[in-house]
Amino acid sequence: MIELEGVPELIDPIMVAAFEGWNDAGDAASSAVAHLEQEWKGEVFAALDAEDYYDFQVNRPTVFMEDGTRKITWPTTRLSVVRITGERPRDLVLVRGIEPSMRWRSFCNELLGFAHELGVEMVVVLGALLGDTPHTRPVPVSGVTSDPDLARTMDLEESKYEGPTGIVGILQEACTHAGVPAVSLWAAVPHYVSQPPNPKATLALLNRLEDLVDLRIPLGELVEDARAWQLGVDQLAAEDSEVAEYVQSLEEARDTAELPEASGEAIAREFERYLRRREPGAGPGGPGAAGGFGRESAGPGGDRARSARPTRAEEPKEPKPQEPPEKGTEEEKPGREAAGPGTGEQETGSAPESSGEAPERRPDEDGPGEPGEEGPGRD
């Protein structure tokens, strides 16, 4: 039995985990948990014994100097807790580490022991995979679960994957067998720009997590980092005609695939999510503002709306003299005209967040191992 000292009783805690390695293309998932720790000042309360789970020839310890003394950092997995205050307080248990080299079942059982002692209500595991997705479009993020009931109630995909798996898939299955609700969120990273970091994919994961757990996540400088990353990739792609042509083909394929998704029901659902995110007094252009770069996973048609060029304002026309209405006809009342280009509905820009539609290559809880798809960490 795990005994925890100095950890207060938590309020409706959710465990959020990410692991460096095979399941972490572009370091997007581990960077998302690191961002939560930094923004909410997470306090580490436990670390797994590195001797039990890691091959130090694969994941080597590092040496550093502190106040003139040499110290060693061993590869491991650490657990921290963040207390979120506000109108609806809720606590998070953050798990960040490296995919273990051995004893995966014992590794997952130890994490589940912490979850049980802390009263964790749900486990969310973040992952990132390489896919055929253009860097110029919103990052696709898919939510996957092995629980059919959870899939229906939370609008998630039910896992159908078969093939090699990583620690994300193993931990999710361990949670399911232990009766703990578990979800994995997968971000698709462009395979032609897979080098870490990828702040745009990290931002998309945080946006999807925000919807899933109904929390307002402070984004800090991540929005500007994501914007700078995309501009940098744009410049590199423009210097190579073959890469630019390939990116254009991915854009066309993505837009064509998403066109049927833009149904009235889907647009209404995304607009409802947008309204839930709005905060009183939020200024334009903020992280939660409509059409802002912070809403990285746009809804159906959102990427096309964001990339469209602004329309020119119409020149004012001279008013025509009003003719008296004919007999038997009703005079037009103000406000009956159709909304024009300058109305508020048009100014809201792109739809806010992705509803978790799967990317072109549908990731499962074990997305990187999907047959025929290059996985994170592979050459």
Q: What is the pLDDT of residue 9?
A: 84
Q: Which contacts of 71-78 are long-range, i.e. CB under 8 A and separated by 24 or more positions?
A: 74/50, 75/50, 76/47, 76/48, 76/49, 76/50, 77/19, 77/47, 77/48, 77/53, 77/107, 77/111, 78/44, 78/46, 78/47, 78/48
Q: What is the pLDDT of residue 278?
A: 56
Q: What is the pLDDT of residue 12?
A: 92
Which parts of the chain have pLDDT scores under 50?
A: 1, 280-292, 297-321, 325, 327-365, 367-379
- Cα–Cα distance between 225 and 222 in angstroms, integer? 5
Q: Please, which residues have CB within 8 angstroms of residue 139's CB and are 6 or more apart in sequence? A: 133, 187, 188, 189, 200, 201, 203, 204, 296, 297
Q: What share of the chain is helix, strand, coil (3-state, %, to 5)?
A: 35, 15, 45
Give the closest residue to 138 by CA, choosing from 278, 295, 256: 295
Nearest-Å Rg of the Cα atoms of the chain is: 24
- Cα–Cα distance between 278 and 208 in angstroms, integer? 16
| Greatest extent of the chain over all pairs of C-alpha atoms, in Å | 97
288-339 per-position pLDDT tens digit: 333 345 555 443 333 433 333 333 444 444 444 455 545 444 444 444 444 4
221-268 per-position pLDDT tens digit: 999 999 999 999 999 999 999 989 999 999 888 888 776 555 555 566
